[in-house]
């Protein structure tokens, strides 16, 4: 009612106004979340589909919001990207993940997601090297997961950065493979060591002939390019067996485990060792 005199405001949809306020509040909360120590990193096992041995984990950030409980990254990463807060959050996740992974068996790798804005940060290499040296984690045990959004940026600079990271021994995975527009060209131009098949190609496997054909083509392509394959979103034993038969290197998904808080992830590892 107070807005009535202001003309235009009256024509605003109350739903849009509510969303704008919520977004503003999210920005305020997010800006404070890091100093309030509200972020957590959960770990989802990446498993060899033949032996079921845990070979790696993907670090996935969660926000323990004092009022809203555990907030998923899908609900705050975009805001964090748009406000630039992702750089601070991303460095924190990287340090945390490297530190946690440094105590795992030495054959295990840790995969960390990098967003486009983090990639544009000129301090990125320093941040990564800092996280590695502070934790003592060898660079060969770190894999950075990158989506096409990163590659759309300044191509020459992106290539230099990626080649530098590869030269240090850090793995590079092309994340969400197949969901973008130019994935094939990028595979040729950039030094990826791994492809992650997006779960949209996995959901209807093994029944859907089209998905199966695309899946098999991606696996063949990765083989020809000497890249390893991780399959996302494995939710059934049939999907696990399909991935194993196709010769995929790693699988990840709810059938094996959801992303777990660190202590539960350690229990998962111990149970696997005992089994």
The footprint of ligand C2E (CB under 6 A) covers 44, 59-61, 72-74, 77, 90, 93, 113-115, 145, 175-176, 199, 232-235, 252-254, 259
Report if residue 230 touches Ca ion, rule: CB under 5 A.
no
With CB under 5 A as the rule, give the number of residues binding Ca ion: 5
Residue 229 Cα distances to 122, 193, 221, 246, 271, angstroms? 30, 9, 10, 10, 26
Report if residue 145 touches Ca ion, rule: CB under 5 A.
yes
Strands (E), the chain: 39-47, 54-65, 69-71, 109-114, 142-146, 171-177, 194-197, 228-231, 250-251, 260-261
Nearer to Ca ion, 28 or 182 (CB): 182
Minimum Å distance from CB 260 to ligand C2E? Answer: 10
Report if residue 81 touches Ca ion, rule: CB under 5 A.
no
| CA–CA gap between residue 23 and residue 203 (Å, rounded) | 32
90 binds, among Ca ion, ligand C2E, none (CB under 5 to 8 A by kind): ligand C2E
Nearer to Ca ion, 21 or 214 (CB): 214
The SS3 of residue 35 is coil
| CA–CA gap between residue 114 and residue 162 (Å, rounded) | 12
Cβ-contact 39, 92 below 8 angstroms: yes
Q: Using the rule CB under 5 A, which residue among 29, 176, 246, 249 binds Ca ion?
A: 176
Minimum Å distance from CB 44 to ligand C2E? Answer: 6
């Amino acid at each position: 009612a107070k807005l009535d005199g202001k003309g235009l405001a009256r024509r605003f949809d109350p739903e849009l106004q509510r969303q704008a306020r919520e977004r503003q509040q999210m920005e305020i909360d997010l800006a404070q979340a890091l100093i309030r120590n509200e972020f957590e990193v959960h770990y989802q096992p990446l498993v060899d589909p033949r032996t079921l041995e845990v070979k790696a984990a993907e670090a996935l950030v969660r926000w323990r919001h004092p009022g809203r409980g555990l907030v998923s990254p899908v609900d705050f990463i975009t805001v964090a990207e748009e406000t630039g807060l992702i750089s601070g959050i991303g460095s924190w996740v990287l340090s945390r993940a490297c530190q946690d992974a440094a105590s795992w068996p030495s054959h295990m790798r840790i995969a960390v997601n990098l967003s486009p804005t983090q990639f544009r940060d000129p301090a990125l290499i320093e941040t990564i090297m800092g996280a590695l040296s502070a934790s003592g984690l060898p660079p060969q045990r770190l894999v950075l997961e990158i989506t096409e959004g990163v590659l759309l940026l300044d191509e020459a600079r992106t290539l230099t950065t990626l080649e530098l990271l590869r030269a240090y021994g850090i793995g590079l995975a092309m994340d969400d493979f197949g969901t973008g527009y130019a994935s094939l060209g990028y595979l040729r131009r950039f030094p990826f060591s791994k492809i992650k098949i997006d779960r949209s190609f996995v959901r209807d496997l093994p029944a859907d002939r089209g998905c199966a054909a695309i899946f098999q083509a991606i696996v063949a392509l990765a083989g020809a390019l000497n890249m390893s394959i991780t399959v996302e979103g494995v939710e059934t034993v049939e999907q696990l067996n399909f991935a194993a038969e196709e010769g995929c290197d790693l699988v990840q998904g709810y059938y094996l485990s959801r992303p777990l808080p660190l202590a539960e992830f350690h229990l998962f590892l111990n149970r696997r060792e005992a089994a």
